[in-house]
Structure 1
Amino acid sequence: MPDNNQAPQTPAPQDSNKAPRFAILVAGGSGTRMGAAKPKQFLDLLGEPVLLHTLRRFAETPLRVQQCVVVLPAEQFSTWHQLCAEHNIHIPHTVVAGGATRWASVRNGLAYLADQKSGTVAVHDGVRPLVPASVIEECFATAEAHGTAVAAVVPKDSVRNLSQQGSYALDRARLRLVQTPQCFELELLRRAYQLPELSTFTDDASVVEDLHPIQLVPGDYRNLKITTPEDLLLAEAILRSTT
């Protein structure tokens, strides 16, 4: 359910000729693989929580994101409130309780947007704090034109598939590493999340693909997902190089 203690969201100014844009930032990590004492979305990244960096990327004015919904485990609400106070965070957003799985968490985020009749929604990992504004804009624009858009990059390494006989090489030119954001026409994503959850769902594209073709757009190798201590070090280096 929405966090009623969160300051009410002030919608961003909208161009009346364009459909509204929304963002669901899913941050349900526990930090197990990070080996940290707190969830990875709250870890310090150059003096600020990882999640704040991510939220700020979607709050940039040119992107025209009307509402940002942050999905957190309910037991982490107080920690986020404390961090917002400590870091003087006034970026408009609403906090919604997540579910037992990522699928359930995204569905809860969508439920907060139930009153919205139309628009485009981006679903993004809360621990991908370095996504460039250009990637976000390209995903939104492509989804507005085609219904779906998923950021993805070409693998840098050779890739092999396992088989009973051993393994065999795959043509990496025909493969893509999927990132977020993943953007969808709002009603399309709603219809997809009305279907039962399957074990094969690994991201939002896999939830939607039986209903609509998935368009890929160029992602960015800097758009890393912070999962291990090495990822955090790399993110710090990237941020230092761009500031």
Structure 2
Amino acid sequence: MDKYAIIVAGGSGLRMGTTLPKQFLPLCGKPVLWHSLETFLTAWPDVQIILVLPKDHQQIGADVVNTTSDPTRIRITVGGETRFHSVKNGLALIENPGVVFVHDAVRCLITTNLIHRCYEQTVEKGNAIPAIQPIDTLRIETPDGSQLLDRTKVRVIQTPQTFFSDIIKKAFEQPYNASFTDEASVVEKLGVAIQLIEGEATNIKITRPLDILLAQKILEERTA
């Protein structure tokens, strides 16, 4: 079965406090984006990657692609106004039926193990959404103040969010809605049941300077 990974790299460096978008910041000698690309390239020899980049960062993205182990399996397209539109642009390049992974470029600690598990569950159940249980106490704001949530019933959602191509492509034919915060919310709008799978605590999203330090430590321990 064909495998496609849409890597969404449309973020900015605002919360990171840098002028360079966070997906291009250095991490253990390579850009953050490189680590995400390389893990998908090594997951299978036949996976095809569609990299979605802002219009102003196409060249720097191409430069990163050319340093990977197999640039021929990576195509670049332009991002849209929102994540929804960026993913839709990526989906437009998928012609054959298969399994589609949609992954945040800045979740650069993704492992091939999680990628494989998402694929296997998608083949079995139609989709796979990585999620982990929060370790902090959670409260939700209410008109009367706040209310404690049962954290055993709450999950923190990660990527790669994985679907059969026909399902996700049909879902993205819907008009954009502000409630579409990720791919699962778009697919769920069709009435498709979302299937969670255990994610990884190390599958963090690079957002703040502290995240770079954590990611560097994790990568150093993996290669030690």
TM over 0.5: yes
Among 213, 222, 226, the alignment partner of 2:206 is 226
Does structure 1 residue 59 correspond to structure 2 residue 44?
no
How big is the shift at 1:82? Answer: 3.2
Q: Residue in 2 aligned with 1:5?
A: none
- Indicate yes or no: 2:195 matched with 1:215: yes
In structure 2, the partner of 1:49 is 31
Query: Which of the residues 87, 91, 97 maps onto 1:110?
Result: 91
Q: Which amino acid aligns with 2:197?
A: V
- Tell me the distance in 1 between the aligned counterparts of 2:194 and 2:177: 18
Equivalence map 1:122-141=2 (5 Å): 122-141=101-120
Given that residues 58 and 65 in structure 1 are in contact (C-alpha distance below 8 angstroms), is that contact kept between their aligned partners in structure 2? no
The separation in 2 between residues aligned to 1:198 and 1:222, in whole angstroms, is 31
Partner amino acid, structure 1, of 2:11? G
Paired with 2:99 and 2:64, the residues of 1 have a C-alpha distance of: 29
Q: Which residue of structure 1 aligns with residue 63 of structure 2?
A: 82
Is the alpha carbon distance of 1:30 and 1:146 closer, same or farther for their aligned partners in structure 2, counting shifts above 3 Å?
same
Deviations 1:199-231 (Å, cap 9, x if unpaired)?
Answer: 111100000012210000000010000011011
Query: Aligned in 2, Cα 1:84/1:124: closer, same or farther, shift over 3 Å?
Result: closer
Match of 1:70 among 47, 51, 75: 51
SS of residue paired to 1:237: helix
Shift, 1:83, TM fit: 3.7
State whether residues 23 and 65 of structure 1, in contact with CA within 8 Å, keep that contact through their aligned partners in structure 2: no
Taking a change above 3 Å as real, the CA distance of residues 110 and 88 of structure 1, as seen in their structure-2 partners, is closer
Q: 2:23 touches 2:31 (CA, 8 Å); kept in 1?
A: yes
Would the alpha carbon gap of residues 88 and 70 (structure 1) be closer, same or farther in structure 2, given more than 3 Å must change?
closer
Q: For residue 16 of structure 1, what is the aligned residue in structure 2? A: none
| Cα distance in 1, alignment partners of residues 45 and 158 from structure 2 | 21
> What is the TM-score with the length of structure 1 in the denominator?
0.88
Structure 2 residue 186 is matched with structure 1 residue 177: no
Query: Contact 1:153–1:219 (CA<8 Å) still a contact in 2?
Result: yes
Contact 1:50 1:129 (8 Å CA) reproduced: yes
Deviations 1:76-121 (A, max 9, x none): 0111233445x466432001111010000000000011x21x1110
Task: Tell me, in whole angstroms, the C-alpha distance in 1 between the residues paired with 2:46 and 2:57.
Answer: 25
Aligned to 1:26: 8
For the Cα contact (< 8 Å) 2:41–2:70, is it kept in 1?
Answer: no
Deviation of 1:136 after TM superposition, in Å, equals 0.9
CA–CA distance in structure 2, aligned partners of residues 65 and 168 of structure 1 = 48
